[in-house]
Structure 1
Amino acid sequence: MVLYLSVAFIVAFVAWGLLSPTSLGAVSGSAVAWTTASFGWYYLLAVLAFLLFCGYLALSRYGSVKLGRDEDEPEFSTASWFAMLFSAGMGIGLVFWGVAEPVSHFLKPPGGLTPESPEAARAALKYSFFHWGLHPWAIYSVVALSIAYFSFRRGEPTLISRTFRPLLGDKVEGPLGNVIDVLAILATVFGVAASLGFGAVQINSGLNSAFGLPVGVGSQLAIIAAVTVLYMLSASTGLNKGIQLLSNANVVLAGLLMAAVFVLGPTVFLLDTFTTSVGGYLQDLINLSTRLTPFTGDTWVGGWTIFYWAWWIAWAPFVGLFIARVSRGRTIKEFVTGVLLVPALVSFLWFTVFGGSALKQELGGNVAIAEATQKDVSTALFALFDTLPFGGGLAILATLLISSFFITSADSATYVLGMQSSKGNPNPSNPVKLTWGLLQALIAVALLLSGGLSGLQSASVLAALPFSAIMLGMCWSLHKALSEEFPRHPAPVRQPTGGSEPDAA
């Protein structure tokens, strides 16, 4: 039932996008404007609650609880575990926005700052850290912790709906549970399809920079078709082969690219920038987490922060399920520490190296990167490479990295969608995975045709709203289950009655 309902809805959406892309773009744009205007406060408070909840679990008496049986050991090495969660979680987005976001903030900063000033540059990196730091990984952690606990410790099927058993009882196996799983699947499909669309656009820009491939929808559709074949082949090989190998390759390629830009760019400036930006981020964390502009009517927060929070929430069922699947045997404290802190630190380094290098060029009077960003954000990264030695080689390496991240994200998503639509089967059949792989590609095509990058953003924001309420319920359910398994005041052990002492045996 979950599979049929989800596929029917998605096929109808794809048909709408292919047959009447203008209509789809207009309706989704209006819906997004209403959502961000009416629920911006809700997104901010919900995501802050997820971060506080993760910190509470890690520091509480539940921190030593294993995500599995007490004797379970982690299935994957720490290095492979980190590589897989990072590649699935945000790899392709970092490459796309690593230069484009800081430069966009530099040109149009929040809070009334003077555009293209040193103050705007500091704010640009601080907000980039905020959007890609602790908050998104807290969103992922909430879903992953709940699924891992109920699946590996309680023996439940790997389904979002089964995390609600402490609240709903056996109703999780009926129509209500099906509705929860369908919403999770829809959020996953639209969130991942949006990112695949972003990836196709940037691969197009990279191939244009390196080999002169024309930039346009035709090229982007061809790229989606080619990469779809590759990730469907990878999906058919299973978790321990395709995804693990690709994830490790992604980390190596990303490390090489970041190291090259760090060495070829303004190295000392980047070290100074990292230090001051981390300090500014930590100092203003709460203020950033609750910032809205009701008195000025400024739309900056809605266009950036609310979009990002919705994007991460739309990705949460997919990334959370995937992280849960590869995290068996780790304690809650180990899990939260690894998933929150390590990827956030890598994101800070990434934005410092790429965004900081671009901002240094802009402050020095080279406006080529800003002009490219204003014209097409997907070209910002390659505009930076044009200012560095060996820029052509860096562009080719970056295009390979984007393609690899593209394949890994889609591969991971097909695996998770297959699990969710196969009653939590940890090894879904290849026909089911290939069906989801094809549907993801078709949604990305429909979104590109109906509105380009704005259409991709709209899908994420709309898919996230209902699932965010499910996530709040998951927090409540997980805490209830933990408090029942580990009560603060356990019932006293009753001593045997009678005149004789109990047997020592």
Structure 2
Amino acid sequence: MTQSASDADRQTQSSLGDPIVLTLSIGFIVLFLALSFYDLDLVANSISQGFAWSALTFGTYFQFLMLLTFFIAIGLALTPAGNAKIGNLDAPELSTFKWLSIILCTLLGGGGVFFAAGEPIYHFVNVPPAFDTDPGVAAAVPGALAQSFTHWGFVGWAILGSLTAIVLAHAHYEKGQPLQPRTLLYPLFGERLMRGPLGGVVDTCCVLAVVAGTVGPVGFLATQVSHGLEVLFGLPNTFVTRLLVLATLGMVYVLSAVSGVHKGMQLLSRFNVMLALGIGAVIFLFGPTLFLFNSYFAGMGTYLDDFFKMVTMTAETAPADWMQWWIVFFYAWFIAFAPLMAIFMARISRGRTIREMILAVAVIAPIATTVWFTLLGGSGIYYQLTGVIDLTDALTNFQFDIATLALAQALPGGTWMALAILLLTTIFVATTGDSMSYSIAMVGAGHDEPSPFLRAFWGVIMTIMAAVLLAMREGQIAALQQFIVITAVPVSLILLPSLWDGPKAAFAMAREQGLID
């Protein structure tokens, strides 16, 4: 009788989520919104100060953590332990194409279009500190692309699902521990952390970091699509339009998250990859083909030649503001997403070898990203260089939504291409929203099949939060994005033990599977 009651209690908690994580997360969100309504400037200024302090104090540490993760992961993939399979399955649950599609769409997210179009052009007209070429000339092209590759390339991707995913996969599938961020610290602190309230605090830090990192793109997408509908169809760019866009997006990613990995999430990802391939093919075949081809190889060559120079740049060798808003911001964003992305990677990679997972996340996905940035951003540079468009003022003021639409209209196909890119951006953000709703639900449930109610709950929460912030003012979403850098500080400490626990877990899995002595 007692055992049955205990099982019922556990089932209830599994359905509703960890009460500590739920209370702290929702409590913080409500407090953030309440304080914003009470004194918006106070909240924005406090976050801005925390952002500046965190970036200055921890920026170099973030870069060091990212570099070590990448090189340790690649080294591990080359060892015999790389043959160990995740999740005790002989064959993968997902085909290679479906698996890679989900990885690319989930981890690249809205940045795959939002920044791919504008960032290379920004660095072309505002030359990064690592280079001394004149802005807006042909010689500035390789450096502009290389700087973008630095932000979205190998080290950024590696932190999202290599060593951390191995630790989680071993602890969950071999040791029976829950798929929660606290499990990353299980090898260090053991059961005391897993069963105590501190584990709930660890999980909450990671959940809030992901909520901040997801709500920002969701809100910005609403403003970008609303602006696009105004330019293309003359619809009014009002809060009501943005709210309708947001509601549609929320409905899509909530339904996708509820349907699970094998249904809606997989279908969205496959559709988006096919759409991206189609857009890329049109750009390459009918756009400035030779320029794009030459620019990619020049940009990649510069990226590899100056890799350490760009990745290890600090506030001592570059303007502090530039470091905060480019290198540190992007790396903090990746770090903030890392624990829940690792949970998601461990969930979708069952049956894959450790080597396959590392190479997919740390090599294949970054290369695909650099090609995509060259197709969109490289085309933008070409049109900027030849005078077809002039985005200097818009990008200098960080108006990336205007830049993306202007570039899209200049591409082959004009209005149709603009519509395709708006759709692509929307689905990219939706795939990030559904995967993060699913991952947060896994954190609450503690296993890889959270209830549909819990998945929908977190999807709705993020949609509502984005709507409230849009109603207040667009700048509040920007403040929330600054908050990502602050949340990355505790999250980075949670990731740190994976530098040695990742290889230990990989070799333990290889021994347990009889692959090594």
TM-score for both structures, normalised by structure 1:
0.91
Match of 1:207 in 2: 229
Match of 1:410 in 2: 433
Paired with 2:236 and 2:44, the residues of 1 have a C-alpha distance of: 24
Relative to structure 2, which stretch is displaced further, 79-88 or 39-48? 39-48
CA RMSD in angstroms, aligned pairs only: 2.3
Match of 1:12 in 2: 31
Pair 1:85-2:107 in alignment: no
Match of 1:496 in 2: none
Match of 2:7 in 1: none
- 1:483/1:323 CA distance change after superposition, 3 Å: closer
Match of 2:183 in 1: 162
Shift of 1:295: 5.1
Paired with 1:6 and 1:405, the residues of 2 have a C-alpha distance of: 25
Paired with 1:181 and 1:373, the residues of 2 have a C-alpha distance of: 37
Match of 2:300 in 1: 278
- 1:384/1:485 CA distance change after superposition, 3 Å: closer
Relative to structure 2, which stretch is displaced further, 200-209 or 401-410? 200-209
Pair 1:148-2:199 in alignment: no
- 1:453/1:178 CA distance change after superposition, 3 Å: closer
Match of 1:135 in 2: 155
Paired with 1:129 and 1:208, the residues of 2 have a C-alpha distance of: 32
Match of residue 119, structure 2, among 77, 101, 105: 101
Structure 1: gaps spanning 5 or more residues: 494-505
Structure 2 residue matching 1:62: 3-state secondary structure: helix
Paired with 1:64 and 1:415, the residues of 2 have a C-alpha distance of: 28
Relative to structure 2, which stretch is displaced further, 124-133 or 287-296? 287-296
Match of 2:331 in 1: 309
Pair 1:394-2:394 in alignment: no
Pair 1:428-2:450 in alignment: yes
Pair 1:246-2:268 in alignment: yes
One-letter amino acid of the counterpart of residue 229, structure 1: M
Paired with 1:79 and 1:282, the residues of 2 have a C-alpha distance of: 28
Match of residue 344, structure 2, among 322, 329, 339: 322
The question of whether the paired residues in 1 share the 8 Å contact of 2:257 and 2:455 is answered with yes
Counting only pairs closer than 5 Å after superposition, residues 3-402 of structure 1 correspond to structure 2 as 3-69=22-88, 71-111=89-129, 112-141=132-161, 142-171=163-192, 172-215=194-237, 217-294=239-316, 297-374=319-396, 376-402=399-425
- 1:89/1:482 CA distance change after superposition, 3 Å: closer
One-letter amino acid of the counterpart of residue 248, structure 2: A
One-letter amino acid of the counterpart of residue 157, structure 2: W
Shift of 1:415: 0.9
The question of whether the paired residues in 2 share the 8 Å contact of 1:191 and 1:463 is answered with no
Match of 2:493 in 1: 469
Relative to structure 2, which stretch is displaced further, 430-439 or 98-107? 430-439
Q: Rg: which structure is higher?
A: 1
Shift of 1:453: 5.7
1:442-494 CA-to-partner distances (Å, cap 9, x unmatched) read 3334554352563243132122111011011233333344455668xx9xx9x
One-letter amino acid of the counterpart of residue 494, structure 2: I
The question of whether the paired residues in 2 share the 8 Å contact of 1:191 and 1:315 is answered with yes
Structure 1 residue matching 2:81: 3-state secondary structure: coil
1:300-338 CA-to-partner distances (Å, cap 9, x unmatched) read 222101110011112222322212110011111111111
Relative to structure 2, which stretch is displaced further, 477-486 or 322-331? 477-486
Paired with 1:407 and 1:40, the residues of 2 have a C-alpha distance of: 30
The question of whether the paired residues in 2 share the 8 Å contact of 1:85 and 1:319 is answered with no
Match of 1:503 in 2: none
One-letter amino acid of the counterpart of residue 163, structure 1: L
Shift of 1:121: 2.4
Structure 2: gaps spanning 5 or more residues: 1-19
Paired with 1:306 and 1:252, the residues of 2 have a C-alpha distance of: 32
The question of whether the paired residues in 2 share the 8 Å contact of 1:385 and 1:395 is answered with yes
Paired with 2:77 and 2:375, the residues of 1 have a C-alpha distance of: 31
TM-score for both structures, normalised by structure 2:
0.89
Relative to structure 2, which stretch is displaced further, 99-108 or 364-373? 364-373
1:162-210 CA-to-partner distances (Å, cap 9, x unmatched) read 2322211211221232222111211121111122123223222322232
The question of whether the paired residues in 2 share the 8 Å contact of 1:138 and 1:340 is answered with yes
One-letter amino acid of the counterpart of residue 463, structure 1: T
Structure 1 residue matching 2:179: 3-state secondary structure: coil
Relative to structure 2, which stretch is displaced further, 133-142 or 289-298? 289-298
Pair 1:454-2:473 in alignment: no
One-letter amino acid of the counterpart of residue 99, structure 2: W
Number of residues paired by the alignment?
488
The question of whether the paired residues in 2 share the 8 Å contact of 1:207 and 1:399 is answered with no
1:13-45 CA-to-partner distances (Å, cap 9, x unmatched) read 233334433332222112111111222211111
1:283-313 CA-to-partner distances (Å, cap 9, x unmatched) read 1212222112415644222210111001111
- 1:320/1:211 CA distance change after superposition, 3 Å: farther
Relative to structure 2, which stretch is displaced further, 9-18 or 272-281? 9-18
Pair 1:2-2:25 in alignment: no
Shift of 1:372: 4.1
One-letter amino acid of the counterpart of residue 130, structure 1: T
Q: Percent of aligned positions with the same letter in both sequences?
A: 34
Structure 2 residue matching 1:157: 3-state secondary structure: coil
Paired with 2:70 and 2:271, the residues of 1 have a C-alpha distance of: 30
- 1:400/1:360 CA distance change after superposition, 3 Å: same
Shift of 1:238: 2.1
- 1:157/1:132 CA distance change after superposition, 3 Å: same
Relative to structure 2, which stretch is displaced further, 312-321 or 465-474? 312-321
